[in-house]
Amino acid sequence: MKYTIFNPITGQIQSTMSFSDVETANLNLDGKSYIQGDYSSRDYYIDQTQPVQLPAKPQDGLEYHFDWAAKVWTIDQDRSMSTVRQQRNNLLSTVDRINPVWYTSLTTDQQNELSAYRQALLDVPQQAGFPTDIVWPAKPTWL
């Protein structure tokens, strides 16, 4: 029979195990509790011995982790900063790959616009709302 092992304080699922005898499970829990059934920590937590489906994870491009005590998704600042910087770097690579010969064929206004766009991309991490509230600079329409 399958059992789900969980932390009785937070409800976080630790593992699932098969036992032929419930008494055997009691000997090896080390402060954890169990319920009958096979539940994944990716989808559930346990509340008063009942499986509860995790709320939907926000789909806004940021990185989250589940706060087991509060039972909510919270922004993982470090991973979100890394993800947003990677998005910014991808946009920068478009600008930085411009052929120097082509660049010299741009008008002075276009060169200035391109330089301002590149600098605005570099400045994204310095925005007050970084990484959760970003105003992405507008790409020049001719680029």
The alpha-helical segments, DSSP class H, found in the chain are: 22-27, 77-96, 100-104, 108-122
Q: What is the pLDDT of residues 44-92, one digit of tens each?
A: 999 999 999 999 999 888 899 999 999 999 999 999 999 999 999 999 9
Looking at residue 38, what is its pLDDT?
95
Kindly state the average pLDDT of the residues 15-19: 84
Strand partners, 74: 65
Looking at residue 1, what is its pLDDT?
83
Looking at residue 24, what is its pLDDT?
58
Looking at residue 27, what is its pLDDT?
56
Cα separation of 73 and 92, whole Å? 31
Residue listed under structure tokens 């539940």: 39
CB 15 within 8 A of CB 2: no
Cα 69-129-118 angle, rounded to 5 deg? 135
